[in-house]
Structure 1
Amino acid sequence: MQSFVQRMIGAAKLDVPTYEEVEHDSGATGQAAIVVVLAAIATGIGAMAGGSIKLFLFAAIAALLGWLIWAAIIWVVGTKLLPEAQTEADLGQLLRTLGFAASPGLLRIFGFLPVIGGLVFLVVNIWMLVTMVIAVRQALDYNSTWRAVGVCLIGWLVQLLILGLLGGAASLGMSGAPGAPAV
Protein backbone atom coordinates (compact mmCIF):
# COMPACT_ATOMS: atom_id res chain seq x y z
CA MET A 1 0.00 0.00 0.00
CA GLN A 2 1.30 3.44 -0.96
CA SER A 3 1.74 6.24 1.55
CA PHE A 4 -0.45 9.33 1.42
CA VAL A 5 2.21 11.38 -0.39
CA GLN A 6 2.95 8.51 -2.81
CA ARG A 7 -0.76 8.36 -3.63
CA MET A 8 -0.83 12.09 -4.34
CA ILE A 9 2.22 11.82 -6.60
CA GLY A 10 0.83 8.72 -8.32
CA ALA A 11 -2.49 10.44 -8.95
CA ALA A 12 -0.73 13.50 -10.35
CA LYS A 13 1.39 11.23 -12.59
CA LEU A 14 -1.83 9.60 -13.95
CA ASP A 15 -0.80 6.26 -12.46
CA VAL A 16 -3.81 3.97 -12.99
CA PRO A 17 -2.87 1.53 -10.17
CA THR A 18 -2.91 4.46 -7.74
CA TYR A 19 -6.47 5.32 -8.73
CA GLU A 20 -7.48 1.66 -8.41
CA GLU A 21 -5.89 1.49 -4.95
CA VAL A 22 -7.70 4.54 -3.58
CA GLU A 23 -10.95 3.48 -5.24
CA HIS A 24 -10.95 0.23 -3.28
CA ASP A 25 -9.58 1.61 0.01
CA SER A 26 -12.61 2.93 1.89
CA GLY A 27 -10.23 4.22 4.55
CA ALA A 28 -8.76 6.65 2.00
CA THR A 29 -11.82 8.92 1.93
CA GLY A 30 -10.34 11.08 4.68
CA GLN A 31 -7.05 11.27 2.78
CA ALA A 32 -8.92 12.33 -0.35
CA ALA A 33 -10.66 15.06 1.63
CA ILE A 34 -7.28 16.26 2.92
CA VAL A 35 -6.00 16.49 -0.67
CA VAL A 36 -9.04 18.57 -1.61
CA VAL A 37 -8.60 20.82 1.45
CA LEU A 38 -4.90 21.33 0.67
CA ALA A 39 -5.68 22.05 -2.98
CA ALA A 40 -8.46 24.44 -1.90
CA ILE A 41 -6.07 26.30 0.41
CA ALA A 42 -3.48 26.45 -2.38
CA THR A 43 -6.16 27.74 -4.74
CA GLY A 44 -7.18 30.39 -2.24
CA ILE A 45 -3.59 31.53 -1.70
CA GLY A 46 -2.89 31.51 -5.42
CA ALA A 47 -6.05 33.52 -6.12
CA MET A 48 -5.03 36.22 -3.64
CA ALA A 49 -3.12 38.17 -6.30
CA GLY A 50 -5.15 41.20 -5.22
CA GLY A 51 -4.41 40.46 -1.57
CA SER A 52 -8.04 39.96 -0.60
CA ILE A 53 -8.84 37.52 2.18
CA LYS A 54 -12.41 37.50 0.87
CA LEU A 55 -11.13 36.14 -2.45
CA PHE A 56 -9.08 33.51 -0.58
CA LEU A 57 -12.13 32.33 1.37
CA PHE A 58 -14.34 32.30 -1.72
CA ALA A 59 -11.83 30.31 -3.78
CA ALA A 60 -11.20 27.80 -1.00
CA ILE A 61 -14.88 27.24 -0.21
CA ALA A 62 -15.77 26.99 -3.91
CA ALA A 63 -13.11 24.30 -4.38
CA LEU A 64 -14.51 22.23 -1.50
CA LEU A 65 -18.11 22.59 -2.60
CA GLY A 66 -17.07 21.86 -6.15
CA TRP A 67 -15.53 18.52 -5.11
CA LEU A 68 -18.70 17.38 -3.35
CA ILE A 69 -21.02 18.58 -6.09
CA TRP A 70 -18.75 17.21 -8.83
CA ALA A 71 -18.59 13.74 -7.26
CA ALA A 72 -22.37 13.56 -6.83
CA ILE A 73 -23.03 14.71 -10.40
CA ILE A 74 -20.44 12.33 -11.84
CA TRP A 75 -21.93 9.46 -9.86
CA VAL A 76 -25.43 10.14 -11.22
CA VAL A 77 -24.32 10.74 -14.81
CA GLY A 78 -21.75 7.94 -14.83
CA THR A 79 -23.75 5.21 -13.10
CA LYS A 80 -27.35 6.08 -14.01
CA LEU A 81 -27.29 7.88 -17.36
CA LEU A 82 -24.14 6.64 -19.15
CA PRO A 83 -22.95 3.42 -17.52
CA GLU A 84 -21.07 0.70 -19.34
CA ALA A 85 -22.12 -2.92 -18.76
CA GLN A 86 -19.49 -3.44 -16.03
CA THR A 87 -19.97 -0.05 -14.33
CA GLU A 88 -20.40 -0.42 -10.60
CA ALA A 89 -19.43 2.40 -8.28
CA ASP A 90 -20.59 4.16 -5.17
CA LEU A 91 -20.23 7.80 -4.21
CA GLY A 92 -17.34 7.00 -1.86
CA GLN A 93 -15.27 5.54 -4.69
CA LEU A 94 -15.77 8.70 -6.72
CA LEU A 95 -15.01 10.96 -3.75
CA ARG A 96 -11.73 9.11 -3.23
CA THR A 97 -10.56 9.01 -6.84
CA LEU A 98 -11.68 12.57 -7.57
CA GLY A 99 -10.15 13.77 -4.31
CA PHE A 100 -6.74 12.39 -5.22
CA ALA A 101 -7.18 13.70 -8.77
CA ALA A 102 -7.06 17.16 -7.17
CA SER A 103 -3.39 16.58 -6.25
CA PRO A 104 -1.99 18.84 -9.00
CA GLY A 105 -4.16 21.60 -7.50
CA LEU A 106 -1.53 22.11 -4.82
CA LEU A 107 0.53 23.87 -7.47
CA ARG A 108 -2.14 26.56 -7.72
CA ILE A 109 -0.42 28.12 -4.72
CA PHE A 110 1.90 29.71 -7.29
CA GLY A 111 -1.01 31.47 -8.99
CA PHE A 112 -0.24 34.71 -7.15
CA LEU A 113 3.13 35.07 -8.90
CA PRO A 114 3.28 38.06 -11.20
CA VAL A 115 3.44 37.37 -14.93
CA ILE A 116 3.27 33.54 -14.69
CA GLY A 117 0.45 33.14 -12.13
CA GLY A 118 -2.25 32.98 -14.77
CA LEU A 119 -0.24 30.45 -16.76
CA VAL A 120 0.22 28.32 -13.63
CA PHE A 121 -3.56 28.25 -13.09
CA LEU A 122 -4.17 27.38 -16.76
CA VAL A 123 -1.64 24.53 -16.84
CA VAL A 124 -2.79 23.12 -13.48
CA ASN A 125 -6.46 23.32 -14.52
CA ILE A 126 -5.75 21.35 -17.71
CA TRP A 127 -3.66 18.84 -15.75
CA MET A 128 -6.49 18.43 -13.23
CA LEU A 129 -8.99 17.90 -16.02
CA VAL A 130 -6.88 15.00 -17.27
CA THR A 131 -6.54 13.54 -13.75
CA MET A 132 -10.31 13.82 -13.31
CA VAL A 133 -10.93 11.89 -16.53
CA ILE A 134 -8.59 9.10 -15.36
CA ALA A 135 -10.25 9.10 -11.92
CA VAL A 136 -13.72 8.81 -13.46
CA ARG A 137 -12.66 6.12 -15.92
CA GLN A 138 -11.20 4.01 -13.11
CA ALA A 139 -13.92 4.59 -10.51
CA LEU A 140 -16.69 3.81 -12.99
CA ASP A 141 -14.81 0.86 -14.48
CA TYR A 142 -15.08 2.28 -17.99
CA ASN A 143 -13.23 0.72 -20.90
CA SER A 144 -13.69 3.91 -22.88
CA THR A 145 -11.69 7.01 -21.98
CA TRP A 146 -14.00 8.96 -24.31
CA ARG A 147 -17.01 7.97 -22.23
CA ALA A 148 -15.18 9.28 -19.16
CA VAL A 149 -14.45 12.52 -21.05
CA GLY A 150 -18.15 12.83 -21.92
CA VAL A 151 -19.24 12.18 -18.34
CA CYS A 152 -16.74 14.78 -17.10
CA LEU A 153 -17.94 17.31 -19.67
CA ILE A 154 -21.58 16.81 -18.72
CA GLY A 155 -20.67 16.91 -15.03
CA TRP A 156 -18.66 20.10 -15.49
CA LEU A 157 -21.52 21.86 -17.30
CA VAL A 158 -24.05 20.81 -14.64
CA GLN A 159 -21.65 21.85 -11.86
CA LEU A 160 -21.14 25.29 -13.45
CA LEU A 161 -24.91 25.71 -13.67
CA ILE A 162 -25.39 24.73 -10.02
CA LEU A 163 -22.54 26.93 -8.76
CA GLY A 164 -23.82 29.81 -10.91
CA LEU A 165 -27.29 29.44 -9.43
CA LEU A 166 -25.89 29.25 -5.90
CA GLY A 167 -23.68 32.27 -6.51
CA GLY A 168 -26.57 34.22 -8.00
CA ALA A 169 -28.84 33.31 -5.11
CA ALA A 170 -26.18 34.32 -2.60
CA SER A 171 -25.60 37.69 -4.26
CA LEU A 172 -29.33 38.36 -4.44
CA GLY A 173 -29.70 37.45 -0.79
CA MET A 174 -26.83 39.72 0.24
CA SER A 175 -27.89 42.72 -1.82
CA GLY A 176 -31.57 42.43 -0.97
CA ALA A 177 -31.25 41.94 2.78
CA PRO A 178 -32.10 44.97 4.92
CA GLY A 179 -28.95 46.41 6.43
CA ALA A 180 -26.73 44.27 4.22
CA PRO A 181 -23.58 46.04 3.11
CA ALA A 182 -23.33 46.89 -0.55
CA VAL A 183 -21.09 44.45 -2.40
Structure 2
Amino acid sequence: MKQFLDRVFAVIQLEPLAYLEIKENKAPLTQAMFLLFLSSTATALGSVGGYVEKIPMAILTACAAWVAWGLLIYVLGALIFRKPETEVNLITVMRLVGFASAPGILKALAFIPAVSGIILFGTSIWILGTTTLATQQALSYKSFPRALGVTLAAWLGYQFLLFQI
Protein backbone atom coordinates (compact mmCIF):
# COMPACT_ATOMS: atom_id res chain seq x y z
CA MET A 1 0.00 0.00 0.00
CA LYS A 2 2.84 2.39 0.82
CA GLN A 3 4.41 1.81 -2.60
CA PHE A 4 1.05 2.52 -4.25
CA LEU A 5 0.60 5.77 -2.31
CA ASP A 6 4.18 6.78 -3.07
CA ARG A 7 3.47 6.29 -6.78
CA VAL A 8 0.24 8.29 -6.58
CA PHE A 9 1.89 11.23 -4.81
CA ALA A 10 4.82 11.18 -7.25
CA VAL A 11 2.42 11.23 -10.21
CA ILE A 12 0.43 14.10 -8.69
CA GLN A 13 3.68 16.01 -8.20
CA LEU A 14 4.51 15.48 -11.90
CA GLU A 15 7.74 13.59 -11.19
CA PRO A 16 8.91 12.06 -14.50
CA LEU A 17 10.77 9.21 -12.77
CA ALA A 18 7.48 8.01 -11.26
CA TYR A 19 6.07 7.51 -14.76
CA LEU A 20 9.19 5.63 -15.82
CA GLU A 21 8.87 3.35 -12.78
CA ILE A 22 5.21 2.66 -13.59
CA LYS A 23 6.13 1.95 -17.22
CA GLU A 24 8.86 -0.51 -16.28
CA ASN A 25 6.91 -2.22 -13.48
CA LYS A 26 4.34 -4.59 -14.96
CA ALA A 27 2.46 -5.10 -11.67
CA PRO A 28 0.50 -1.88 -11.19
CA LEU A 29 -2.25 -2.35 -13.84
CA THR A 30 -4.66 -3.29 -11.06
CA GLN A 31 -3.38 -0.30 -9.08
CA ALA A 32 -4.00 1.95 -12.08
CA MET A 33 -7.54 0.59 -12.41
CA PHE A 34 -8.16 1.07 -8.68
CA LEU A 35 -6.87 4.64 -8.91
CA LEU A 36 -9.09 5.23 -11.93
CA PHE A 37 -12.06 3.89 -9.96
CA LEU A 38 -11.27 6.28 -7.08
CA SER A 39 -10.90 9.20 -9.46
CA SER A 40 -14.10 8.26 -11.32
CA THR A 41 -16.02 7.93 -8.07
CA ALA A 42 -14.70 11.28 -6.86
CA THR A 43 -15.66 12.88 -10.17
CA ALA A 44 -19.12 11.36 -9.91
CA LEU A 45 -19.59 12.51 -6.33
CA GLY A 46 -18.48 16.03 -7.18
CA SER A 47 -20.48 16.37 -10.36
CA VAL A 48 -23.88 14.81 -9.71
CA GLY A 49 -24.94 17.49 -7.27
CA GLY A 50 -26.61 15.25 -4.73
CA TYR A 51 -28.34 12.94 -7.21
CA VAL A 52 -27.11 9.66 -5.77
CA GLU A 53 -28.84 7.57 -8.43
CA LYS A 54 -26.60 9.15 -11.09
CA ILE A 55 -23.34 8.05 -9.45
CA PRO A 56 -23.07 4.57 -11.07
CA MET A 57 -23.58 6.01 -14.56
CA ALA A 58 -21.05 8.77 -13.87
CA ILE A 59 -18.51 6.15 -12.78
CA LEU A 60 -19.12 4.05 -15.90
CA THR A 61 -18.79 7.15 -18.08
CA ALA A 62 -15.47 8.08 -16.47
CA CYS A 63 -14.16 4.53 -16.94
CA ALA A 64 -15.25 4.54 -20.58
CA ALA A 65 -13.45 7.87 -21.01
CA TRP A 66 -10.26 6.29 -19.66
CA VAL A 67 -10.50 3.44 -22.16
CA ALA A 68 -11.26 5.79 -25.07
CA TRP A 69 -8.52 8.29 -24.21
CA GLY A 70 -5.98 5.51 -23.64
CA LEU A 71 -6.85 3.81 -26.93
CA LEU A 72 -6.63 7.09 -28.82
CA ILE A 73 -3.26 7.91 -27.26
CA TYR A 74 -2.04 4.46 -28.24
CA VAL A 75 -3.33 4.65 -31.81
CA LEU A 76 -2.10 8.20 -32.38
CA GLY A 77 1.21 7.91 -30.56
CA ALA A 78 2.27 4.33 -31.22
CA LEU A 79 0.85 3.82 -34.68
CA ILE A 80 0.26 7.14 -36.48
CA PHE A 81 2.92 9.46 -34.98
CA ARG A 82 5.37 6.70 -34.14
CA LYS A 83 9.03 7.61 -33.62
CA PRO A 84 11.84 5.10 -34.29
CA GLU A 85 12.46 4.80 -30.53
CA THR A 86 8.79 4.16 -29.74
CA GLU A 87 8.35 0.74 -28.14
CA VAL A 88 5.02 0.41 -26.38
CA ASN A 89 2.03 -1.83 -25.94
CA LEU A 90 -1.55 -0.91 -25.14
CA ILE A 91 -1.41 -2.22 -21.56
CA THR A 92 1.51 0.10 -20.76
CA VAL A 93 -0.40 3.10 -22.12
CA MET A 94 -3.53 2.16 -20.16
CA ARG A 95 -1.53 1.66 -16.96
CA LEU A 96 0.16 5.06 -17.26
CA VAL A 97 -3.03 6.88 -18.24
CA GLY A 98 -4.80 5.22 -15.29
CA PHE A 99 -2.19 6.59 -12.90
CA ALA A 100 -2.40 9.97 -14.63
CA SER A 101 -6.02 10.22 -13.45
CA ALA A 102 -4.80 10.65 -9.85
CA PRO A 103 -5.57 14.41 -9.58
CA GLY A 104 -9.19 13.55 -10.40
CA ILE A 105 -9.63 12.41 -6.80
CA LEU A 106 -9.84 16.09 -5.88
CA LYS A 107 -12.96 16.44 -8.06
CA ALA A 108 -14.93 15.06 -5.12
CA LEU A 109 -14.70 18.59 -3.72
CA ALA A 110 -16.58 19.99 -6.73
CA PHE A 111 -19.88 19.62 -4.87
CA ILE A 112 -18.97 22.86 -3.03
CA PRO A 113 -20.71 25.52 -5.15
CA ALA A 114 -18.31 28.37 -4.36
CA VAL A 115 -15.27 26.49 -5.69
CA SER A 116 -16.67 23.84 -8.02
CA GLY A 117 -15.67 25.61 -11.23
CA ILE A 118 -12.14 26.25 -10.00
CA ILE A 119 -11.75 22.66 -8.82
CA LEU A 120 -13.08 21.12 -12.03
CA PHE A 121 -11.00 23.40 -14.26
CA GLY A 122 -7.85 23.08 -12.16
CA THR A 123 -7.97 19.31 -11.88
CA SER A 124 -8.72 18.99 -15.60
CA ILE A 125 -5.59 20.99 -16.46
CA TRP A 126 -3.63 19.00 -13.90
CA ILE A 127 -4.82 15.72 -15.45
CA LEU A 128 -3.80 17.04 -18.87
CA GLY A 129 -0.30 17.56 -17.44
CA THR A 130 -0.11 14.14 -15.80
CA THR A 131 -1.46 12.47 -18.94
CA THR A 132 1.06 14.30 -21.11
CA LEU A 133 3.90 13.03 -18.92
CA ALA A 134 2.34 9.56 -19.03
CA THR A 135 2.17 9.77 -22.83
CA GLN A 136 5.78 10.94 -23.06
CA GLN A 137 6.99 8.01 -20.95
CA ALA A 138 4.69 5.40 -22.50
CA LEU A 139 5.72 6.29 -26.04
CA SER A 140 9.39 6.96 -25.19
CA TYR A 141 9.19 10.45 -26.65
CA LYS A 142 12.09 12.75 -25.92
CA SER A 143 9.97 15.79 -26.83
CA PHE A 144 7.39 17.07 -24.33
CA PRO A 145 5.62 19.16 -27.04
CA ARG A 146 5.17 16.01 -29.15
CA ALA A 147 3.65 14.18 -26.17
CA LEU A 148 1.40 17.18 -25.50
CA GLY A 149 0.30 17.17 -29.15
CA VAL A 150 -0.60 13.47 -29.04
CA THR A 151 -2.40 13.93 -25.70
CA LEU A 152 -4.41 16.91 -26.98
CA ALA A 153 -5.21 15.18 -30.28
CA ALA A 154 -6.44 12.12 -28.35
CA TRP A 155 -8.49 14.35 -26.05
CA LEU A 156 -10.05 16.13 -29.05
CA GLY A 157 -10.77 12.75 -30.64
CA TYR A 158 -12.43 11.63 -27.42
CA GLN A 159 -14.51 14.83 -27.31
CA PHE A 160 -15.59 14.19 -30.91
CA LEU A 161 -16.62 10.63 -30.04
CA LEU A 162 -18.44 11.86 -26.95
CA PHE A 163 -20.57 14.28 -28.93
CA GLN A 164 -21.35 11.65 -31.57
CA ILE A 165 -22.92 9.33 -29.01
Q: Any gaps of 5 or more consecutive residues in structure 2? A: none
- Residues 26, 92 of structure 1: 8 Å contact kept: no
CA distance in 2, matches of 1:70, 1:26: 20
**CA radius of gyration, larger in:** 1
Amino acid at match of 1:32: A
What residue in structure 1 maps to residue 38 of structure 2? 38
Residue equivalent to 2:8: 8
Question: TM-score scaled to structure 1, two decimals?
Answer: 0.86
Residue 83 (structure 1) shift: 1.5
How far apart are residue 54 of structure 1 and its match? Answer: 4.2
**Aligned positions, number:** 164
**Residue number in structure 2 paired with 1:178:** none
- TM-score, normalising length: structure 2: 0.95
Query: Counterpart of 1:108 in structure 2: which amino acid?
Result: K
Any runs of at least 4 consecutive aligned residues in structure 1 with deviations exceeding 3 A, and if so which? none
Note the C-alpha offset of 1:53. Answer: 2.5
Whether the aligned pair in 2 keeps the contact of 1:11 and 1:103 (CA below 8 Å) is yes
- Give identity over the alignment, percent: 30
Aligned-partner SS, 1:163: helix
1:165 paired residue number: 164
Cα distance between partner residues in 2 of 1:52 and 1:164 = 23
- Cα deviations across residues 35-89 of structure 1 (Å, max 9, x unaligned)? 100000000000122x213442332211100111111111010011111220111
Specify the alignment match of 2:104 in structure 1. 105
Tell me if structure 2 keeps the 8 A contact 1:137–1:145.
yes
- Consecutive unaligned residues of structure 1, counting only runs of 5 or more, are 167-183
Aligned amino acid, residue 88 of structure 1: E
What amino acid sits opposite 1:20 in the alignment?
L
What SS class does the counterpart of residue 74 from structure 1 fall into?
helix
What amino acid sits opposite 1:128 in the alignment? I
Letter in 1 for 2:9: I
Cα displacement (A) at 1:97: 0.8
